[in-house]
Amino acid sequence: MVEKSVNHPRPVLDFFAGTAGGVAGVVVGHPFDTVKVRFQNPAFSGQYTSTFAALRLIAKKEKFRGLYRGVVSPIIGVAPVNGLIFASFKYTMSLIAPPLTEGQTRTPNLTSYLVAGCVSGIVASTINAPTELVKIKQQSFTTSHPPSTVSIARDIFKRSGIKGLYRGFQSCWLRDLGYGPYFWTYEVILRAVSPTKLHTDHDLMTQTEEELEEDTRGWWAVPLAGGLAGVVSWTTTFPLDVVKTRLQAASSSKRLPNGELNPYRTTLSTIKHSYAREGWKVFYRGLGPTLIRAVPTNIVTFSIFEACFKMF
């Protein structure tokens, strides 16, 4: 096959495909996200013995709605952010290496996937931080009728302004550097399992179109690569997600009612306080439901993403 001119960003399609994959991923994975937040939130410490025990208990006490509490915020914010992640990843890849012309092929250095993924994560954190703050606040309620997404966001903004909505931003962008290992792993797995030399252009989006046309991959390649990419990404930066959740779930006041400094006032103070009280294992609390969620969520995300390219 004659190679196409590659590495020219198609931002609308990239964004649409990424968003569609993000919506599907949120719907599939949100119950496990609720469990993860409950495990990480000190207010629920000791209430749940395992991931599936937590799912059963939440469903029993709070019904189906309890498992999907706070889902509106990630659908509004995180799903479009997924589109932003994929689009910014491709754009960054286009800056790292000049476009190829027809007839040229080149296997990009895997480091470029790592760098572009980290950049896309930092971009995404500008939206992830406020939307996840609202989601975590809502997931922390156990009543049958918690405040709505809009009312929580409005209350935070009224009390603390934009700064309040970006509480936990530092730990959020540090965690979202995990998109570097995310895209890197996806590429490594596809190269390892593909019967032909795939992804020989500048980025996975452009090559996706050519692979779909040639139909050279097994049906299981993308699900396998997507699922493992999610597991690796979360494992590398999970401790920072714990820190972010604790910081965002806690009061934003600098001091507690008794006059003492709020131990969850900054990223560093949250790390120090959590380690001093609960040891290093606290930074992996909730990892189980997160990894269980990561597999189907990212299988769906990448599968929908590539299906969109096939349709358009």
Q: Are 267 and 170 in contact (CB under 8 A)?
A: yes
**Which tokens in the block code for residue 65?**
């709605």
**pLDDT recorded at residue 195:** 63
Beta bridge partner(s), residue 255: 261
**Which tokens in the block code for residue 231?**
């597991």
The dihedrals phi and psi of 6, each to the nearest 5 degrees, come to -120, 175
How many Å apart are CA 224 and CA 226, to the nearest integer?
Answer: 6
CATH architecture of the domain 11-311 equals Alpha/alpha barrel (1.50)
How many Å apart are CA 194 and CA 211, to the nearest integer?
Answer: 10
Give the global pTM: 0.81
Return the HEC string of the chain: CCCCCECCCCHHHHHHHHHHHHHHHHHHHHHHHHHHHHHHCHHHCCCCCCHHHHHHHHHHHHHHHHHCCCCHHHHHCHHHHHHHHHHHHHHHHHHHCCCECCCCCCCCCHHHHHHHHHHHHHHHHHHHHHHHHHHHHHHCCCCCCCCCHHHHHHHHHHHHHHHHHCCCHHHHHHHHHHHHHHHHHHHHHHHHHCCCCCCCCCCHHHHHHHHHHHCCCCCCHHHHHHHHHHHHHHHHHHHHHHHHHHHHHCCCCCECCCCCECCCCCHHHHHHHHHHHHCHHHHHCCHHHHHHHHHHHHHHHHHHHHHHHHHC
**Which tokens in the block code for residue 9?**
């960003």
Q: For the chain, which residues score pLDDT lower than 70?
A: 1-9, 97-106, 195-217, 312
**Segments making up each domain of the chain, as ranges:** 11-311
**pLDDT recorded at residue 7:** 47
**pLDDT recorded at residue 102:** 55
